[in-house]
Each structure stands twice: as structure tokens, then as C-alpha cells.
Amino acid sequence: MCYFCQKNINEVDFKNTELLSQYVSGFFKIKPRKKTNLCAHHQKKIAVAIKRARQMGLIPYTPR
């Protein structure tokens, strides 16, 4: 079951870097749906939020 559907969360905030970092692998790639156990709707929202956070400089693109 999707974490966001269980908690009844509709919007994913790109400024919440702690939450977004759970859905990024060690090489800073976005984890697939099979690993995150999210529904398609929320997986897309997570992907968009991670990409926005990267653009704003909140999450790095690559490991240091």
C-alpha cells in the first residue's frame, strides 16, 4: 500500500528534503516504484518534487 495514500497526503512538498531523500538511491537516482511501494500517482509527484528540489539546489544531482 502506498505510504501517501495511507496517510491521506495529497501534495508532496519539494522543500521537504528529508522525505525526498528516502526516495533517492545512494547514487542519487530516483528509486523505482517497486522499491518505493508507491502508487503511480504519488510516484510521479515524488519524481517531480525531487527534480524541482534538484533545480533549486536543495538536493544534489550526484554524490560528492
Q: What is the pLDDT of residue 64?
A: 80
Q: What is the model's pLDDT at position 55?
A: 97
Cβ pair 11, 46 in contact under 8 A: no
Over residues 42-52, the pLDDT tens digits come to 999 999 999 99
Total count of domains within the chain: 1
8 has a pLDDT exceeding 90: yes
| DSSP notation for 27-54 | TSPBPPHHHHT--HHHHHHHHHHHHHHH
The pLDDT value recorded for residue 3 is 93
**Whole-prediction pTM value?**
0.93
Residue 35: CATH number of its domain: 4.10.640.10
**How many other C-beta atoms can be found within 10 angstroms of the C-beta atom of residue 6?**
8
63 assigned to some structural domain: no
Residue 62, domain member (yes or no): no
In a domain, 61, yes or no: no
Mean residue pLDDT of the chain comes to 95
CA gap 22, 14 in Å, rounded: 13
Distance CA 32, CA 44 (A): 10
